[in-house]
Structure formats: C-alpha cells, structure tokens
C-alpha cells in the first residue's frame, strides 16, 4: 500500500500484549453457527442447537403406539434473495428449513408389534432467518440484532435471611433450565420445609417419604450414624439422653413404647429392662451442638408411610382432585424425574455437581435423590456455621444466553406445539393414506420464530448511527427480556459493579437512566464458554515466574487465585521485580509475595469494552464522564470526510476491522481497475500447490446507502490501478473509517476560555471556517415508501394525471409519475403521484350516456400522492419500483430484456473462464508428453500417447469435453495440478449456471410483495446537514455541549502566529467534572499536529505527564500547553495564557434540524378534538395545568380563554376564527370546548342525567 493509505501511530505503551484480541463479533457468529451446524455433514452433527431440539421432540408416537414419527436429519436450503434484495424489497433474509422425517406404521396388538410400513419424506418447516456475515438478521427489510441475555444460571443456590429475633434462617433453591422450581428452608423453630413451585409448604420429611424413604428409621439413617445400644449391663446408664433411631414395640401387646426421634429418659430405660428388651437402635452421632432439625421435622410430619406422603403432596398440588397412589406417583415422577417436563440442562447439572461435590454424569439432567439429600445436608451444615451462602450477583451465578440458545428455546416451543398437532392427526387419520406430509403443519414452527424475530424484547432494531454503534449493539448484554429482570423490580445490587465483572463486563459502558446497570457491554478480551459463563484470559504464573501460557478463567474459578495487574513490573527473566505485589483476590486487594501469585492480567484494556477502550487518557477521567464519553461515541454521525484522531488508543484499527464496514482483499493480487463503485483485482496464485483457476475478484462498493438511523453509508476506494495488494489489506474505507481506522469525528483546534458569555453552561462557540470547509457536514438519507393497493372500488394507480394539481407541481415527475433522480425537493412537493378510486355515486341517465360516449372522467379519483413532509429539503438520490407480475405487453418486454441481459452476462463470464483455463493449461502442458486424450462427446482420440505439447494445439478445443484415463501427461505431479485446475473450472461453471438459474427464476416470478399490494415505490432523499446553532457536539471524555454561536473567522481569538482558533470551550466545564483526559489530549494533539504525527496512548498504559511535556517541547511548543491568545475583534491579548491544542470532537445525532418544529393547523385527536403532540404527528405544544396557573397569575384572561378554546378543542370556534382572520373582521365569541362534551357524555354513561340548559 502506498504511504498515504496507512496511518503509522507512535505508541506510548510500555507493555507487550501477550494475548491476541478475539474477534469482536464472535459472540454472535459462533453462537449461530453452533446452533445450525451448517458446515457439518448431516450424519456427523453434534447433539446441540437445532439438532438437539429435533432429537428431544422426536420421535412422536400416538396413544396406541401404532404410528411413530422419527427424525432423520434437517437441511437448510439456499436463500432465494440476496441481502441487498431483501433490504430493498422489505423481505426477510432466510432460507427454507427442511427436515427428513420417517413414519413407522406398526400392526396394532400383539407383543412385538410388527412393523407394517415405513415412509420417509422431506418436510418443509418454514423459512428460517439467516445471520448475515456481520452478525445481524434482516427481517422485513430492516436489520435487527439479537441481544445476548444475562440471566440466573440453573443450579442450586443457598441463601440466608435474618429473622427479626436475630436468628439466621437458611434456604436453598433448585432452579432448573425448565420445569418446577423448588425451595428448601428452615424456619425459626428449626423445622425444614420444602416448597414446590412456590405453592404451599410441607415438611421435608413428607417429601423424603414420598421419595421412598418411608420410615422414620430410614430418614434418621440418612443424616445420622445409628448404633445398637445394650439396655442392661454397665453401659445402660449411658442410654439416658440419647435419641431412639428405630421404634421399640412391646413384644406382648404390640404397643409402641419408644418412637423414633424420642429422647430416652431414666423411666423409659427401666420400662425397657422390665420388658426384657436387650438392645435398641440409637443415634451414635454427637448431638451436643446439633440443632436437631431432622428430628423436629419428623415430629412435625403427620404422614407415616410413602402412600400417605404421596397423597398429601398430590392434594397440595392438585387441590380438589381425589388422590390415587398411581396418579400421585406419576405426578411426582413428572415434576422432577421426567426429562420431558424437567431439565436442568448440562449447565445446571455442572453447577450442582460443582456446588455439592457430586459426581453425577452430565447427561443426567433431571434431579436424583442424591441431589435432594445433598441439598438438605448442606443446609444442615450452614445451620451449624459451616459452608457459605451464594452471592446472586456473582458472575459465576449468572450466565449468558446468546442467539443460538434463544433460538433453540423458540424452536423447542414451536416443535412441541407441532408434536401436539401431529399426535392429534395420528389418532384421526386413516392408516391407508397417511404420510409425514399429512401430519406436519409447518406454520406452528415458523409462527413462533417470526414472533420472536419480530416482537421479542431481545430482537432489536439495529443501532446503525455509526460502525461503533453497530459493534456495541452486537456485543451488548441485557438482563431484561423474557425470563430476566424488569426495570421496576431490579434493585441497586443487581445494577452495581461486582468484582467478578473484571475483564468480563465493562464497568463503564452502560446507559444512563432507568436501564443503568441492567444493560452492559462485553469487555474486549472476554469470551463465553460452552456453559454460557463469561471468561477472561490470564497469563499463568509459576513460582513467581510469568509464563506466556494463556488460560481463560470463569468467575467462579478465578475466585480461588491471586491475580497480579498487567502493569506489574517484570525483570528480563519474566520474574516480578518487586518483593511485594498488589494483587486481586475476590473483591479484595491484598499485598502478597511473588510466590503467592497464580495469574497475571494479559492487558490493562481487558477491563473495559471496545467503546471505553477508544477513549485516550481514560485513566484521568472520572467514571461518570467516561460513561457519557463511551455512550456518546455511539451517537456520532458519520461525516462527509472521515478524519482519524491524532490521539488514539491503538484499538481503532481492530474496532474498524471487526465492524466489517470496510472492504478487505480476499486474496493477494494486482488492482486491475478502480471506479467509485467497483474495484477489480486480478488475483495471482501465490501458493503454487493449490493451483486454482485464478481470475478476477470484483468488489462492489456501497454508495450513499441509507442506514437504519438515516445516516449515510458510503465506501471509498483506497487503492490505485496497478497497485499490488496483500490478502486482508484494506481496499476501501467505509463510513466513519479513515485509512482502515475508526474515525467518528474531526481534530479541531480548541481554546479553553470564556468568550463574551457565549459559552456559558457548556455551550460551544465555533468558527465559520468549520462550516465553510464542511468539516462536520453529514449526509442523511431518508426513505419514503408508497404502496399501491387493490381496493374494493378498484385498483389504485401511479400516474402523472392527478386531479386539481398544477403543472408546476408535476414538473419533477417523470412519465410514470415518480419524481426524477437529482430533483431538488422541498416540503409539500409530490414524490410519487397516486390516485385512488372514489366511491361510486348514483349516476343520472344523462351522465351515463355522456360517460358511455366520452369515457371515464377524472372526477372519479382522488389524489393520494406521496408528498415530502414538513421541514424536508434535499435531493432525490434513488427511486425504486417493484411490481407484481402483470400480463401486459410492456411488462413482458421488460422481462425479455432483463432475461437477455442476464444471459449475455453469463456468456461473457463463460468466455472469460474458458480463456483463463486455456492460459493456465498451456502453462502446465508446455513441453510435456501426452498420454491418450479423447473427447467425451464422440470418444475420438485428440492426442495420441507420447505427443509433445506445443502452445497452439489447444486452441479451439473445448477443454470441458476432454478426458484421459491415465491423466493428461506422463508426469503425475503435473496431472495432479491439472485435475485440481479442472475441478476448479467445473466448479466455477456450475456456480455461474446456478446463479443464472436463480436470477431467471426471480424474473419469471416477479416481485414478492405483501398481500394486497400491487406495486411498491421507494424514494430516497439525501439532505446535507451543515453544522448549525443548536447542534450537539461532544469529545470522547463526556465533554458535551450545544453550539451557541457561529462566529466569523476574523472575530475568533487567534494565536501569536495569526492562526484563528476553530472552537472555544468553557474552562469551567473541566474542574468539577474531573475529566482531565480532555486537557491531556489537547496538549498531546497539539504536539502531534505540529510534528505531523499520530500518537497512540492505550488506556492505563499510555503517555504520562512527562511524556506529554516532552512531546510539546519536541514540537517547539510551550511546555505548559498554554499560550497567549489575542482577541479577534480588538487585537488585544487576553489577560492570561490559554490552554490551546487539538481535541477530537464529534457531531452527535441530536441535530437541531430534526428537532425544530412548528405547527399552525394540523391533525386533531378524534375524541377530545385537541391537537396531537410531537413532531412525528405534526402536533402542537402542550399547555398544561402549570402553564394555566402562570397565565392566571398574570391575570391574562383573554389569552387563557384562547388557549383553552380556539387553540385547543372549540371545533366551531376555530373555524370561525379562521374565517374572521381571512375576512379581516373581529373574532367571534368562543364556543363550548369539546372536552366539556366528552365529560358530559362520560357522566351520562354512569347513569347520571346531565342536561345542558341554554342561557
């Protein structure tokens, strides 16, 4: 690349980056790829994502087990329309999902059930939206992002609360991935209860009995050690005070003398001796500190057998139904032990095993008796002061559900519904003619998926203001959404920064307002492991020596280790230089010796997200301002000319690369041609072994495309003709990138000083020069759409012939009635002429006769044209029209032209491929000896064995028609290359053929439009927005302000060498806000501008004060960064030196032109007849109760009366006032406001007789 197409930055970093930054979009792309597994053969797919869902739902069997529908495999077809076509035609970019299903029909009755018939069919299951290469989805023409959700991980959680009497009460919750929740808790009397699905509680003993531990003896044996104690002899005195573990019965009467759990007293020992009972079972464990929870619970339990316990649970869960043993057993089985109803997920099982030290296999995703017992034992352990409770905000207890997982949930819902209908149809259909096709109803699945993409809280319209906004939106983590929190219920703890966020979630970037802390951003180095937990990389430290081995740790693993900071000094052997090191251990910062350190951070920027990592000198900014800085970078509009910041952080290149807004070379080669919208590169085959066909790569550039937020997406070529480029190099800049770096604003010469009071309260003063040079000019493109529909009274049509419209108003329309490209448009201009049929009125016989003679008259249609909205001014840059297939001559002709155009392009491509193939083959065959080569078509010999190839003989021969059994030549290495070449040639031909077939099919099918729409017209209008008073601007440090004044260049303050300042900022905006980063950036930026250098100052590892001063000195500037400034109006110097330098400023998408609004007459609300509110509705200003009080206070009675009548909802009054103004007479008396009538009607609706008495 030539010098001016690359930015070389001088970095102030002192640390070596050990770990590679991950792909910033991997969080989206990997998840979707794992969900679909498109690159894996159908029979080798792993049991995850969509495959797992199909496997879970199928086979579906009917009640009599006569039919069974089994799943074989699924396939995803090719998308019918390209990304571009979907965007333009308001369609969803997706592909057909097909599943191969096998229906097995068995003979009814009999033991083995003979298989009578097997039918296998491919069934269509609807369109599946596909992810674009940039990690988005196109749904109904709009780009959307599925945001990842942070939710509570499945598993077991222990909690404590303190009772008013000071006692600690412990509880445990088992949360499954899906199924019934379960809670165990202790009450004040040390009795343990269990809650199933937050319904009524029952003692744990009842639940254990239902599980099969039917007797007290068994339950006691689960938690205590039991021994045989002799009643007589010298040890009998030790019996007193012990607890009986098994009931003791009088051998004669059968009466129970001692029940289990009962404490043995002296008198009881004597009674036992009298009955000649020699041994009894007692609890041998030491009970001196035991709170006797199990024994108390047993005493509370009223049931005595498994049957009683089951029926008690059944009546609790299904009140009002008579319990039977089988039903009760089945209910318990279904609740926790059936994989159809209950699923912990691999994650839940992993977490439970980890928390309770169990070794149950991960495949067991239902609960086992062992789980219940371990949970109860752990609560007992907590009760005696051992063990720990869980911190719910710890990132070890919160996991991320990404696109793939959210989609899996939707498919599970859809397929389960479908399974239900399949079962119903199986029982209704006749066995002779049944096939998988008849059973499956695809709508059930596609409806659920469509609803998810269209209206789920996590499927969001993509923020496309600039590339950084896109990137951040895709890396966002939200705690809201289905199965998550709600804004109202989320407290401070959930929103707060937790020590486990370090390196996983950014502590800085989160919205201000009600969502603060609930929506976060992924940190730069973070990744998500297979269980959905966030991980961050660390360098392994062994015996005080830092190795280059990098390990990813999740939050709960990290808790076990001491971790050193990335900027901890090391000696040349990689050992810690200091004898005592400040480390992180959980939420604490102990000072430890080097031997105690287990890991070390990989980089200081692993703490923050991409947006916060782009702020230079972040370490000198207050966190609140850094938050605003990182949020406002996302609102920067893309400018006409992008300008990379003088002071960056080194992250600009990677951020720009991963937004995919630039075009990168797919392969190395030489640039053949460059135009504004296309770059052609001839690729050279560097790697001889691959021996590919070679050829041209065409890169189409996006020109003036509209983004979701109406900003302009425009790519500009960076390469010149004949230039050599390498793979992965930047060929074209996108919007908001400059030479391959992210560029959201412009470098401006600023001075921090007050200027005639105009920069009071954060206001900004700018020089006219910035406006004249278009430094902050942006282009905004708006899309206007018009649908032509079939109505009951006939079809609407697009036309130039519009009733009652002057020729002048039609001047910019073409013969079809659509505005021409390049026309200048103002508010109210017609963009597309459309007429709609009016209702048919009864015609008199005379009119009918006249109409029969002279044809239809124009009066039967009304004008329904698309007009430019108020405040609009711009130039038409594009128009598009889509029509359903019509059978008139014009459309047939257009169709024929389009078909021949595609066929010509195909022929040209074929010729190009053939020529390329010939060149490559000649090169390979030259001077080689042939083996026998024949033609495929007629088997005639073309070259005999031993023939020596020259250059010419291949001319005029169709290479695709040749074949040779033993290879073309007698040299096997050459033959292998030729085979590869032929393979590549045939592949290229078949791809071109498939492409042609698809295009022709689309032409013959016509545009697919929504039902009822005949034509769809889109008009794109571009507006140039220059900087104007009222626009919001901001730097990267949260220093925002509104332009208060645009001053002529000659009146601006100027430097001693006569350079006028471009922007004046208020110095009072710095000290109280504590964002000093802007001052350091200003100083270093000035030095960079003077030296002609770009600097990089990575966060927490950037330039310090000394280095900034050195740079200023090197540039020959004052070390203080301050200089005398002169007043442009008087020429006098200001009192004291002023801080001057270059600051990177951005124009935010809060533009005054979008906010300014005026209304005279407009739409009114239907019921109250008051004007609507808001610019979008062309509404008026609200005059609320406080404003009424203000006018009352001033005694402005007539003004108030006007406000409440004419200007609001006095319907007759307002039209009479209009009349009075037109005629120039005095306005009439106001009438009754409509809202009064509404009140009267509401009172009457309550049955009150309200009558209005005429005065």
Is 526 in contact with 505 (CB distance < 8 Å)? yes
- Residue 447: CB partners within 8 Å, gap ≥ 6? 414
CATH code assigned at 652: 2.40.50.100
Domain match, 1209 and 1126 both? no
CATH code assigned at 1180: 3.90.1800
Q: Name the domain boundary from 433, 462, 491.
A: 462
Q: Is 579 exposed, middle or buried (0-12, 13-18, 19+ CB in 10 A)?
A: exposed
Average pLDDT, the chain: 89
Find the mean pLDDT for residues 594-600: 95
Supply the pLDDT for residue 906.
Answer: 86
pLDDT in tens, 340-354: 889 998 999 999 999
In a domain, 8, yes or no: no
Find the mean pLDDT for residues 965-977: 78
Residue 241: domain span: 225-284
CATH code assigned at 342: 3.90.1110.10
pLDDT in tens, 262-271: 888 888 888 8
Domain match, 851 and 819 both? yes
Find the mean pLDDT for residues 934-947: 77
Is 353 in contact with 361 (CB distance < 8 Å)? no
CATH code assigned at 591: 2.30.150.10
Indicate if the pLDDT at residue 604 is higher than 80. Answer: yes
What six digits make up the tokens of 26?
């991997």
Find the mean pLDDT for residues 834-861: 74
Find the mean pLDDT for residues 635-656: 95
Q: Name the domain boundary from 351, 373, 394.
A: 394
Any idea of the CA torsion for 287, 292, 294, 299, to the nearest 10 degrees?
120
Task: Provide the strand spans (E) within 77-146.
Answer: 94-106, 115-129, 137-139, 142-146
pLDDT in tens, 160-186: 999 999 999 999 999 999 888 999 999
What pLDDT band is residue 1115 in, cutting at 50, 70 and 90? Answer: very high
Compute the distance between CA of residue 270 and CA of residue 266 in angstroms, rounded to an integer.
Answer: 6
pLDDT in tens, 794-812: 888 899 988 889 999 999 9
Q: Name the domain boundary from 394, 414, 449.
A: 394
Task: Provide the pairing of β-strand 794-795 with 778-791.
Answer: antiparallel
Count of all residues that appear for the chain in the document: 1255
Compute the distance between CA of residue 876 and CA of residue 1020 in angstroms, rounded to an integer.
Answer: 6
Indicate if the pLDDT at residue 960 is higher than 70. Answer: no
Place of tokens 């926790």: 336
Is 711 in contact with 637 (CB distance < 8 Å)? yes
Domain match, 839 and 921 both? no
Find the mean pLDDT for residues 734-744: 94
Q: Is 52 exposed, middle or buried (0-12, 13-18, 19+ CB in 10 A)?
A: middle
Supply the pLDDT for residue 842.
Answer: 66
In a domain, 778, yes or no: no
- Identify the DSSP state of 689: G
What pLDDT band is residue 316 in, cutting at 50, 70 and 90? Answer: confident
In a domain, 775, yes or no: no
Any idea of the CA torsion for 1024, 1027, 1030, 1032, to the nearest 10 degrees?
100
826: β partners: 873
In a domain, 167, yes or no: yes
Find the mean pLDDT for residues 238-259: 82
What pLDDT band is residue 685 in, cutting at 50, 70 and 90? Answer: low
In a domain, 346, yes or no: yes
Looking at the structure of the chain, the number of domains it has is 9
Place of tokens 């096997």: 972
Q: At what angle do helices 49-57 and 403-428 cross, to 10 degrees?
A: 20
Domain match, 1056 and 1199 both? no
Is 480 in contact with 519 (CB distance < 8 Å)? yes
Indicate if the pLDDT at residue 294 is higher than 90. Answer: no
Domain match, 313 and 173 both? yes
CATH code assigned at 260: 3.90.105.10
In a domain, 329, yes or no: yes
Residue 91 or 240, more confident: 91
| Category of 65 on φ-ψ map: left (φ > 0), alpha (ψ -120 to 50) or beta | left
What six digits make up the tokens of 777?
């000019």
Supply the pLDDT for residue 1005.
Answer: 76
Supply the pLDDT for residue 841.
Answer: 64
Domain match, 59 and 172 both? no
Domain match, 542 and 608 both? yes
Compute the distance between CA of residue 899 and CA of residue 906 in angstroms, rounded to an integer.
Answer: 11
Supply the pLDDT for residue 1.
Answer: 38
Find the mean pLDDT for residues 948-973: 72
CATH code assigned at 1129: 2.40.270.10
In a domain, 925, yes or no: yes
Of 336-350, 998-1012, 1101-1115, 1116-1130, the one with minimum mean pLDDT is 998-1012
Find the mean pLDDT for residues 842-862: 72
Find the mean pLDDT for residues 117-146: 94
pLDDT in tens, 55-78: 999 999 988 888 899 999 999 998
Q: Is 932 exposed, middle or buried (0-12, 13-18, 19+ CB in 10 A)?
A: middle
Find the mean pLDDT for residues 323-336: 85
Domain match, 989 and 1042 both? no
Domain match, 198 and 331 both? yes
In a domain, 970, yes or no: yes
Domain match, 136 and 186 both? no
Domain match, 205 and 339 both? yes
1007: β partners: none
Name the strand (E) or helix (H) holding 919. Answer: helix 889-925
Domain match, 1056 and 1149 both? yes
pLDDT in tens, 1006-1029: 777 888 888 899 999 999 999 999
């Amino acid at each position: 690349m030539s010098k001016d197409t690359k930015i070389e930055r001088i970095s102030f970093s002192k640390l070596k980056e050990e770990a590679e930054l991950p792909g910033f979009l991997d969080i989206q792309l990997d998840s979707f790829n794992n969900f679909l597994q498109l690159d894996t053969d159908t029979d080798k797919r792993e049991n995850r994502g969509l495959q797992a869902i199909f496997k879970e739902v199928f086979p579906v069997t009917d009640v009599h087990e006569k039919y069974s529908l089994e799943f074989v495999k699924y396939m995803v077809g090719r998308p019918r329309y390209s990304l571009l076509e979907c965007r333009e035609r308001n369609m969803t970019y997706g592909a057909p999902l097909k599943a191969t299903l096998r229906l097995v029909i068995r003979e009814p009755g009999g033991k083995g059930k003979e298989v009578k018939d097997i039918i296998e069919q491919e069934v269509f299951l609807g369109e599946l939206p596909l992810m674009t290469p940039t990690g988005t989805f196109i749904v109904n023409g709009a780009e959307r992002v599925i945001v990842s959700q942070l939710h509570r991980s499945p598993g077991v959680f222990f909690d404590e609360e303190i009772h008013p009497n000071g006692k600690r009460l412990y509880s445990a919750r088992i949360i499954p991935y899906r199924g019934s929740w379960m809670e165990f808790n202790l009450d004040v009397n040390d009795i343990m209860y269990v809650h199933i699905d937050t319904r009524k509680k029952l003692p744990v003993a009842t639940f254990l009995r239902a599980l099969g531990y039917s007797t007290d003896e068994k339950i006691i044996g689960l938690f205590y050690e039991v021994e045989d104690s002799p009643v007589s002899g010298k040890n009998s005195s030790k019996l007193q005070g012990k607890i009986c573990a098994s009931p003791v019965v009088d051998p004669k009467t059968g009466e129970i003398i001692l029940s289990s759990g009962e404490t043995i007293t002296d008198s009881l020992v004597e009674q036992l001796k009298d009955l000649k009972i020699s041994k009894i079972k007692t609890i041998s464990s030491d009970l001196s500190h035991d709170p006797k929870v199990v024994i108390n619970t047993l005493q509370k339990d009223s049931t005595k057998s498994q049957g009683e316990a089951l029926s008690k649970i059944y009546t609790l869960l299904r009140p009002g139904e008579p319990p039977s043993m089988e039903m009760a057993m089945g209910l318990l089985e279904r609740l926790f032990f059936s994989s159809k109803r209950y699923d912990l997920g691999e994650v839940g099982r992993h977490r439970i095993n980890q928390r309770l030290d169990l070794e149950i296999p991960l495949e067991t995703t239902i609960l086992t008796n062992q789980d219940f017992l371990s949970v109860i034992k752990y609560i007992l352990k907590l009760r005696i002061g051992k063990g720990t409770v869980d911190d719910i905000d710890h990132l070890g207890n919160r996991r991320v559900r990404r696109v793939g997982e959210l989609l899996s949930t939707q498919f599970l819902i859809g397929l389960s519904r479908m399974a239900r209908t399949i079962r119903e149809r199986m029982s209704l259909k006749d066995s002779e003619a049944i096939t998988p096709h008849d059973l499956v109803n695809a709508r059930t699945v596609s409806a659920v998926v469509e609803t998810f993409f269209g209206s789920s809280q996590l499927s969001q319209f993509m923020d496309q203001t600039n590339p950084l906004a896109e990137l951040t939106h895709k890396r966002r983590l939200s705690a809201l959404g289905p199965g998550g929190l709600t804004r109202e219920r989320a407290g401070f703890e959930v929103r707060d920064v937790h020590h486990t966020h370090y390196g996983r979630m950014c502590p800085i970037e989160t919205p201000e307002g009600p969502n603060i802390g609930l929506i976060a951003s992924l940190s730069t180095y973070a990744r998500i492991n297979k269980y959905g937990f966030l991980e961050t990389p660390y360098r392994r430290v062994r015996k005080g020596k830092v190795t280059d081995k990098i390990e990813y740790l999740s939050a709960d693993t990290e808790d076990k280790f001491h971790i050193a900071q990335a900027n901890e000094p090391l000696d040349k052997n990689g050992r810690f230089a200091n004898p005592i090191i400040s480390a992180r251990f959980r939420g604490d910062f102990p000072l430890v010796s080097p031997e105690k350190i287990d890991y070390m951070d990989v980089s200081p920027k692993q703490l923050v997200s991409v947006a916060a990592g782009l702020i230079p000198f972040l370490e000198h900014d207050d966190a609140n301002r850094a938050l605003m800085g990182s949020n406002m970078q996302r609102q920067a509009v893309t400018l006409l000319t992008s300008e990379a910041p003088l002071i960056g952080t080194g992250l600009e290149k990677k951020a720009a690369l991963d937004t995919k807004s630039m075009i990168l070379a797919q392969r190395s080669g030489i640039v053949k041609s460059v135009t504004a919208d296309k770059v052609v590169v001839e690729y050279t085959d560097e790697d001889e072994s691959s021996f590919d066909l070679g050829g041209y790569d065409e890169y189409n550039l996006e020109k003036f495309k509209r983004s979701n937020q109406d900003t302009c997406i425009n790519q500009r070529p960076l390469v010149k003709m004949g230039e050599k480029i390498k793979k992965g190099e930047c060929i074209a800049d996108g919007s908001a990138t400059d030479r391959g770096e992210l560029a959201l604003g412009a470098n401006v010469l600023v001075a921090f000083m007050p200027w005639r009071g105009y920069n009071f309260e954060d206001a900004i003063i700018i020089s006219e020069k910035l406006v004249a040079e278009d430094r902050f000019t942006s282009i905004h493109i708006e899309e206007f759409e018009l649908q032509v529909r079939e109505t009951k009274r006939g079809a609407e049509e697009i036309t130039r012939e519009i009733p009652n419209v002057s020729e002048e108003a039609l001047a910019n329309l073409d013969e079809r009635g659509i505005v021409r490209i390049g026309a200048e448009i103002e508010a109210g201009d017609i963009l597309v002429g459309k007429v709609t049929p009016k209702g048919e009125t009864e015609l008199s016989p005379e009119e009918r006769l006249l109409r029969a003679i002279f044809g239809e008259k124009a009066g039967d249609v009304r004008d329904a044209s698309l007009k430019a909205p108020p405040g609009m001014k711009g130039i038409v840059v594009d128009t598009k029209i889509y029509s359903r297939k019509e059978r008139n001559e014009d459309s047939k002709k257009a169709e024929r032209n389009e078909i021949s155009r595609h066929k010509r392009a195909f022929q040209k491509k074929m010729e190009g491929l053939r020529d390329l193939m010939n060149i490559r083959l000649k090169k390979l065959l030259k001077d080689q000896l042939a083996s026998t080569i024949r033609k495929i078509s007629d088997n005639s010999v073309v070259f005999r064995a031993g023939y020596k190839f020259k250059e010419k003989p291949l001319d005029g021969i169709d290479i695709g028609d040749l074949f040779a059994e033993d290879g073309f030549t007698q040299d096997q290495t050459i033959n292998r290359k030729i085979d590869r070449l032929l393979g590549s040639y045939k592949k290229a031909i078949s791809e071109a053929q498939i492409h042609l077939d698809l295009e022709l099919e689309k032409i013959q099918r016509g545009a697919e439009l929504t039902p009822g729409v005949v034509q769809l017209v889109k008009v794109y209008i571009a507006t140039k927005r220059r900087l104007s008073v009222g626009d919001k601007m901001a730097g990267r440090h949260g220093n925002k302000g509104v332009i208060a004044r645009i001053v002529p260049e000659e009146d601006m303050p100027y430097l001693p060498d006569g350079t006028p300042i471009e922007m004046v900022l208020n110095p009072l905006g710095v000290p109280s806000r504590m964002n000093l980063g802007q001052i350091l950036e200003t100083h270093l930026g000035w030095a960079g501008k003077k030296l002609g250098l770009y600097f990089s100052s990575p966060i927490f590892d950037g330039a310090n004060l000394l280095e900034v001063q050195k740079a200023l000195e090197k540039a020959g500037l004052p070390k203080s960064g301050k200089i005398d400034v002169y007043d442009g109006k008087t020429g006098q110097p200001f009192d004291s030196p002023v801080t001057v330098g270059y600051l990177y400023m951005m124009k935010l998408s809060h533009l005054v032109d979008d906010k300014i609004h005026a209304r005279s007459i407009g739409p009114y609300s239907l019921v109250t007849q008051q004007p609507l509110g808001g610019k979008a509705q062309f509404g008026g200003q609200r005059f609320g109760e406080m404003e009424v009080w203000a006018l009352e206070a001033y005694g402005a009675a007539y003004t108030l009366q006007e406000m409440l009548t004419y200007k609001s909802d006095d319907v007759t009054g307002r039209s009479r006032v209009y009349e009075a103004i037109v005629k120039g007479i005095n306005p009439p008396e106001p009438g009754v406001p409509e809202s009064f009538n509404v009140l009267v009607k509401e009172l009457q609706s309550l049955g009150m007789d309200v009558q209005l008495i005429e005065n």
